[in-house]
Structure 1
Amino acid sequence: MSGQTYIEGWPGVEPVLFLLSLSTLSLSPPAMFWISMKNEPKQVLNRTLWFAIFVFGLLGTSRGLDEGNISGTVAQPSFISKFKLHDPSLSKDAQANLLSNITSMVQIGSVAGALIAMLIVDRIGRLWALREMLVIWIVGVIVQITSNNVGQLYAGRFVAGMGIGQSVVIGPTYLAEIAPPHVRGLATCVFSGSVYLGVMLSYFANYGTTLHISNTSRNQWVIPTTLQIIFSGIMLIGSIFVHESPRWLMKIGKEEEAVETLCKIRKLPADDLYVQGEILMVREQIEREKQAMTGASYWSLFKELLATPANRYRLFLGLMIQILGQWSGANAITIYAPSFFQMIGVSGQQQKMFATAILGVVKFAASIICAVFLIDTIGRRRSLYSGITLQFISILYVAIYLAVVPNNDPSRIKSAAERHAGVGAIAFIYLSGVGWALGWNSIQYLINAEIYTVRHRSLASGLIMTVHFANQYGNSKALPSMRLGMTDTGAMFFFSGIILVGLVWSWFFLPEVSGRSLESIDEMFSLPWYLIGRRGHQMVPETSAAVQIAADEDEKKGGVVHVENC
């Protein structure tokens, strides 16, 4: 294979660039998120808010940098040699087990990390929880890059996971609490989009070291891993200049500080109707919860989550989104991307790494498009339906391709039709990444941060994210064995079946909460369970407290005010 060709029958990168251009067709500035801004003064979209979204949104890179890095690292010749991944004395099953242990060790640590975040994020606040997790993450990375044996590598990845696992609780919780309702989807999608910024950068870092560093040098895998220290340092410095969540401050009784902080984030005075309305909504919900249940322990909070139909429905949504999303195959492709490209006919180390890097670009671009153009404009459900449908078609095509065109014999010469079908399979791997970014990847963080009350948000987010990482661990641990036992074809048909089930489930059960205040979402869950998903957004119209205050004042003056439902 020549240096100009990295895919059989596919010279150059023009088709890849064509795919990227397709993802941006028909999108114009009027489709931006701000067309949904209603009843919000223009001051709320300010540099203080955007910087806070940047710092906490960048937390998503913790997951992405690790997933993208380990994907390329386990395919680097220097890493394979150092940790004996292809040791001929080991059976195929033993080699698969060693590989899955290395890749999945962060997920085991992340389960512990999510539980830690659940316990501390309400005790020390969102800001100090951020700093604590970054320090743990840095320590884990240092242990990894100094590893000389598998045991130390396991330990480093486990410790790093304890930090990374906290990010999915701390980041979305903070972002949902400080963002105005109509940009809350964008803010949380900055977090999910940052996952693929990390993936993309790690993919390219591994591609670069494959090209320029010897296969015998440990720097081939150490240098890409150090990206994680750079990003954690950026967030640590950035945390000095952001404010604590006003909702958390009010929850712990620091109401004066909460109002002062909210005014700084919104760039509005304390007597502004918008600020008054937001404070009123938060205060009323917190007071209502305090009156109903005071002095609650974690155990009693957990029992509360199971005690009422509304809370059980919330838990049901969170659990099913994690199970269906994690077993759709998207994370398996992210973590084992070079192996997937080899599966469908991409050969050569540099070629696999380059194809993998392009996958990172596609996922990152799709996540940005979703955050800016879709999630707060067309709504959560429509974005999810579009993403799941695209992902299903893509994975099903790859499964059919693998069933029809055998790829396990490298000496076999493929026909022209088979080569063209192979190009299609590679394109659909990229499109499956677009579907995942538009669908499950955004929703799994956004809905989890939106649907719980202030009282239960940290506990519920921690529990759901524990399930998230447990499923991710099971997925990354199982895939090497699935490919041996079910074959590549069977594994892809399995993933496509799960995706189809997810599409049907989300159509019936998932409510639309786009543009709603966190407090009004609570009212929607008081409906009967069979109405929440399909008709909840219609039966519980949203009217912001700021508009209601304005209406009350105008009514006292004998005037008329137009109140617009969101």
Structure 2
Amino acid sequence: MGRTHPPTRDEIPSLESFGIELHPDTPRYVQDVQLLADSLGGNGLKDVFANWIVFAAAFSACMGGLLFGFDQGILSIVYTMPQFLQTFPEIDGNNPGAGLKKGVMTGLLELGAFIGALQSGFLADRYSRKKTIAIGSVWFIVGSVLQASASSYAQLTIGRFIGGIGIGVLSSTAPMYISEISPPNVRGAFLVLEGASIVIGIVIMFYITYGTRYIESTWCFRLPFTVQIVPCAALLVGLYLLPYSPRWQVQVGRDAEALHSLARLRNLPLTDPRLQAEWIMVRADAIEAREVIVNKHPSLQDGSFGSELKLEVASWVDMFGPGILRKTMIGVMLMVFQQFQGINALIYYSPTLFQQLGLDTQMQIDMSGVLNIIQMIGTCSAFFFLDKVGRRPPLIIGSIGNTCSHFIVAGLIGKYNGQWNDHPQAAWAGVGFIFAFMFFFGIGWSPVPWAMPAEVHSSSRRAKGVAITTCCNWFFNFIIGLITPPMIEGIGFGTFIFFGAFSILSLIWTLLFCPETKGKTLEEMDAIFNTQAAHDELEAKHEIVSYMCRQAAGSTAATDEKASDKINPESWVENA
């Protein structure tokens, strides 16, 4: 089936054409978007688990994060396995050039993930969020098979690159899928699952690899690479049970299917006014977004392959244009500060960092495991409070805690390096503040950068906005993976000063530029940016919504007047 688009304003089908009769209370929910948001999902944890279909879909979609966590958990230990180093002597530290080859092997997964995330925006818009998750799963399984069976450095690195493409596709698609299926008041909790799944994956695979390191054959590292295929294969099977994103269905002109998907996700009958109101607003958002694209690129609407290709390129360029650039840069800057506060440096190279604090080899590995558990506790705790306190407070608290932790550790290493045997309390204090960093990072900068970019963009821009954000994550992850070893070797405690400086910058940026998206519906998100374009788009959306409700109520003047009383333009814009 070829791709279709939402109808223009004068082509909007009536509710009767879908066999739907407008409920008398539906316009009230349409007008009061906060009332609609409150009615679709409560603020309590019970509302998260009560909506089991959304929870199951969100959990399944987060498999990309889990698989990335698996990779991080594997690497931190396999680098210490003699069998691994014998099989791939190119990365043995005793051989010349090993450091660079180790960095390339580590970084190729991030490079593959960058490419995967880049293509996910196109795939998610054309083939659906759900099918894109399946495509990413296939990429990952192929890469994992190559890694598990690798007998040469070349095969291992190629396998990591291919697996990385799958992780990039999955990690980019999951947040947009989750944001589009979740009720607004518990959307944050569901989006936390993406960040939480990464650290859960790290912990699970770290201790699996911790156990397999006692296997004397090469299965000590082949088994962990094989195990990570299992949840991905389960995801492929489970995808058949997941609903499509209603917002994507509306975006490609499948309005009736979107209504039934929403009914399934909200567990409400088709006649429920809350369901009808959300459906009307989702359709209006898609129609308004389509009008923006048509008005901006009127010469690229003939449906030919050339026009479609040019429109695809133009829509990517639009992400950095007026009215959209700020939303795009929010995602970019969140990922800049997430990575440059040093999280993956600590995860990838934690044994080396603990070595700087004078810990022996076994203690380095043990403390690396504890490090991952603390981050998991911090990130998972956000599941319980992100929808109550919002997105900004955890970021602010996280930045303050991260800054203090980095500078204190830097001071301890600078003063006591080489004298740890005489000052064991100082060494353990350094370990404690590294743990503190992991916790503070976990409560804010681990989950929010994955959650917010999926919230701020309109449905027509969301796939590309999230793809750009995720590409930035993988690009900066790649940079951190490359620069951390020479930084540790060359500037020692200055590495922590470097990450501490970015923690300070993250605090300043959050206070000055980061919006609050708590409790907002995706359709009203434009209003929080307070631009004229957003106001104009909101008024256009109101006109579309008003037309839909009047159309459903009847075409007589008396009926139109009654519908107009229910939906007042000024109050609708103000409430939004």
- Interval containing the TM-score (normalised by the shorter chain): 0.7 to 0.9
In structure 2, stretches of 5+ residues that fail to align are 1-35, 295-300, 302-307, 536-544, 550-561, 567-573
Superposed displacement of residue 451, structure 1:
0.8
Alignment pair present for 1:424 and 2:429:
yes
Superposed displacement of residue 554, structure 1:
13
Give per-residue Cα distances to partners, 1:316-361, cap 9 Å, x unaligned.
2122111121111011111112222222222124x32221111221
Contact 1:66 1:199 in 2 (8 A): yes
Superposed displacement of residue 41, structure 1:
6.1
| Paired position in structure 2 for 1:437 | 442
Give per-residue Cα distances to partners, 1:179-207, cap 9 Å, x unaligned.
00011111110111000010001111122
Q: 1:88 to 1:360 in 2, by over 3 A?
A: closer
Residue from 163, 168, 178 that aligns with 1:160:
163
Superposed displacement of residue 420, structure 1:
0.9
The AA in structure 1 aligned to 2:212 is: T
| Paired position in structure 2 for 1:276 | 276
Superposed displacement of residue 515, structure 1:
0.6
Superposed displacement of residue 279, structure 1:
1.0
CA–CA distance in structure 2, aligned partners of residues 128 and 317 of structure 1: 27
Q: 1:225 to 1:337 in 2, by over 3 A?
A: farther
TM-score, normalized by length of structure 1? 0.82
| Paired position in structure 2 for 1:31 | none
CA–CA distance in structure 2, aligned partners of residues 447 and 204 of structure 1: 31
Question: Greater helix share, 1 or 2?
Answer: 2
Superposed displacement of residue 115, structure 1:
1.4
Contact 2:345 2:481 in 1 (8 A): yes
The AA in structure 1 aligned to 2:252 is: I
Contact 2:205 2:224 in 1 (8 A): yes
Give per-residue Cα distances to partners, 1:400-432, cap 9 Å, x unaligned.
11111114xxxx6622xx211111111111221
Q: 1:371 to 1:293 in 2, by over 3 A?
A: same
Which deviates more, 456-465 or 126-135?
456-465
Contact 1:121 1:170 in 2 (8 A): yes
Alignment pair present for 1:66 and 2:77:
no
Alignment pair present for 1:133 and 2:122:
no
CA–CA distance in structure 2, aligned partners of residues 271 and 57 of structure 1: 32
The AA in structure 2 aligned to 1:88 is: N
Q: 1:414 to 1:281 in 2, by over 3 A?
A: same
CA–CA distance in structure 1, aligned partners of residues 383 and 390 of structure 2: 11
CA–CA distance in structure 1, aligned partners of residues 575 and 205 of structure 2: 44
CA–CA distance in structure 2, aligned partners of residues 204 and 358 of structure 1: 10
| Paired position in structure 2 for 1:306 | 320
Superposed displacement of residue 304, structure 1:
2.1
Give per-residue Cα distances to partners, 1:230-276, cap 9 Å, x unaligned.
22122122212111101000110000011011101111011211111
Q: 1:187 to 1:413 in 2, by over 3 A?
A: closer
CA–CA distance in structure 2, aligned partners of residues 468 and 508 of structure 1: 22
Alignment pair present for 1:201 and 2:204:
yes
Residue from 95, 103, 108 that aligns with 2:106:
103
Superposed displacement of residue 565, structure 1:
7.5
| Paired position in structure 2 for 1:559 | none
CA–CA distance in structure 2, aligned partners of residues 41 and 468 of structure 1: 30
Residue from 76, 80, 95 that aligns with 2:81:
76
CA–CA distance in structure 2, aligned partners of residues 482 and 452 of structure 1: 37
Contact 2:420 2:427 in 1 (8 A): no
CA–CA distance in structure 1, aligned partners of residues 256 and 57 of structure 2: 21
Q: What is the 5 A alignment of 1:17-416?
A: 38-40=38-40, 45-84=50-89, 85-86=91-92, 88-90=94-96, 94-210=97-213, 212-214=214-216, 217-294=217-294, 295=301, 297-308=311-322, 310-349=323-362, 351-373=363-385, 375-407=386-418, 414-415=421-422
CA–CA distance in structure 2, aligned partners of residues 116 and 469 of structure 1: 13
CA–CA distance in structure 1, aligned partners of residues 507 and 532 of structure 2: 22
Q: 1:37 to 1:517 in 2, by over 3 A?
A: closer
CA–CA distance in structure 1, aligned partners of residues 364 and 116 of structure 2: 32
Contact 1:75 1:338 in 2 (8 A): no
SS where residue 88 of structure 1 aligns? coil
CA–CA distance in structure 2, aligned partners of residues 74 and 262 of structure 1: 47
| Paired position in structure 1 for 2:524 | 520
Which deviates more, 298-307 or 498-507?
298-307
CA–CA distance in structure 1, aligned partners of residues 525 and 83 of structure 2: 52
Matched pairs, number: 495
Q: What is the 5 A alignment of 1:408-487?
A: 414-415=421-422, 418-487=423-492
Superposed displacement of residue 437, structure 1:
1.4
CA–CA distance in structure 2, aligned partners of residues 227 and 427 of structure 1: 32
CA–CA distance in structure 2, aligned partners of residues 355 and 225 of structure 1: 23
| Paired position in structure 2 for 1:23 | none
| Paired position in structure 1 for 2:556 | none
Give per-residue Cα distances to partners, 1:458-479, cap 9 Å, x unaligned.
1122122112111110110111
Which deviates more, 295-304 or 318-327?
295-304
| Paired position in structure 1 for 2:24 | none
Superposed displacement of residue 485, structure 1:
2.3
CA–CA distance in structure 2, aligned partners of residues 481 and 129 of structure 1: 37
The AA in structure 2 aligned to 1:497 is: A
Contact 1:58 1:190 in 2 (8 A): no
| Paired position in structure 2 for 1:492 | 496
CA–CA distance in structure 1, aligned partners of residues 150 and 255 of structure 2: 48
Contact 2:122 2:464 in 1 (8 A): yes
Q: 1:381 to 1:413 in 2, by over 3 A?
A: closer
Q: 1:405 to 1:565 in 2, by over 3 A?
A: farther
CA–CA distance in structure 2, aligned partners of residues 371 and 565 of structure 1: 28
SS where residue 446 of structure 2 aligns? helix
Identity across the alignment (%) = 25
Contact 2:454 2:465 in 1 (8 A): no
SS where residue 414 of structure 1 aligns? coil
TM-score, normalized by length of structure 2? 0.81
CA–CA distance in structure 2, aligned partners of residues 348 and 144 of structure 1: 26
The AA in structure 2 aligned to 1:490 is: G
RMSD, aligned CA: 2.8
The AA in structure 1 aligned to 2:421 is: K
The AA in structure 1 aligned to 2:318 is: E
